[in-house]
């Protein structure tokens, strides 16, 4: 794991298994001011999802090496990387509540990551056609100062149609989903490739399971939804321009 000495943090105006807490927040956490919230990811998909919670947060690139360990299974890989990302940023921002997440597609025990280019995307979609793939979307929330650390994972079963080569080519040329695990964007044209999606956390497939995210944030001391001063969050956060985000090679998830 490679962690920058001081990852840059950029403010963003806000617009299965059950949870596995590693350690709990102090009992009086609810009486304390809410902590800063940081998303340890440069993924625009996760940033846009987190904006739905209408709470101000910042983004930081964790700079974590996402290479699988020898023999590492897809579920274990997703969980390890989600926690590593949160811990990497939390070590530099100890007072913040940090969210880390990672998604790995699981095709019969074989991990499928982001294809990166057209040829790999074609190979992935050919391998998945007519089959069911499990997308493991892992989540970790960490606050170093309070000692809080908890993890969860949302498995999503996705059944692909028996796609023709022509359909695969047409889809990839139209959407170019080369930064998405499994080479398909279910929130876009990629939905046309599928027979069914089975999930108990609807946004998990896009990259961040918001039901589980809210649950872990509440455990960490951030109540959602919450009453707050009218000036705490812009009335129309999506109308405010987002700052430039510096990406780190290997961490776009």
Residues 6+ apart with CB under 8 A from 173: none
Phi, psi of 50, deg, nearest 5: -65, -30
pTM confidence score: 0.77
The catalytic residues are 102
Which parts of the chain have pLDDT scores under 50?
1-7, 12-18, 21-30, 229-252
Give the C-alpha separation, 50 to 210, whole Å: 7
Give the C-alpha separation, 243 to 253, whole Å: 18
Give the C-alpha separation, 182 to 137, whole Å: 12
Q: Give the pLDDT confidence of 28-46 residue by residue, as tens digits.
A: 444 567 789 999 999 999 9
Residue 32's pLDDT is 65
Is there a cis peptide before residue 225, judged by omega within 30 degrees of 0?
A: yes
Residue 151's pLDDT is 98
The answer to whether residues 140 and 151 touch, using CB atoms and an 8 Å cutoff, is yes
Catalogue the long-range contacts made by 225-233 (C-beta closer than 8 Å, 24 or more residues apart).
225/54, 226/34, 226/55, 232/56, 233/13, 233/14, 233/54, 233/55, 233/56
């Amino acid at each position: 794991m490679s962690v920058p000495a001081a990852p840059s943090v950029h403010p963003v105006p806000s617009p299965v298994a059950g949870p596995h807490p590693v350690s709990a927040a102090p009992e009086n956490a609810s009486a304390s001011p809410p902590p800063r919230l940081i998303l340890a990811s440069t993924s625009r998909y996760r940033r846009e999802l987190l904006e739905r919670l209408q709470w101000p947060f910042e983004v930081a690139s964790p700079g974590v090496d996402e290479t699988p360990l020898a023999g590492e299974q897809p579920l274990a890989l997703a969980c390890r990387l989600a926690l590593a990302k949160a811990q990497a940023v939390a070590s530099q921002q100890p007072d913040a509540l940090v969210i880390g997440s990672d998604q790995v597609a699981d095709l019969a025990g074989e991990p499928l990551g982001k294809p990166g280019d057209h040829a790999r995307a074609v190979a992935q979609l050919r391998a998945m056609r007519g089959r069911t793939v499990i997308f493991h979307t892992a989540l970790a929330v960490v606050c170093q100062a309070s000692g809080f650390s908890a993890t969860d994972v949302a498995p999503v079963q996705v059944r692909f149609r028996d796609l023709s080569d022509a359909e695969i080519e047409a889809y990839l040329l139209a959407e170019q989903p080369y930064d998405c695990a499994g080479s398909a964007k279910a929130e876009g044209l990629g939905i046309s490739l599928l027979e069914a999606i089975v999930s108990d956390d609807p946004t998990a497939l896009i990259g961040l399971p918001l039901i589980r995210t809210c649950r872990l944030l509440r455990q960490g001391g951030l109540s959602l939804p919450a009453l707050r001063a009218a000036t705490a969050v812009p009335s129309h956060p999506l109308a405010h321009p987002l700052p430039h985000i510096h990406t780190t090679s290997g961490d776009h998830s």
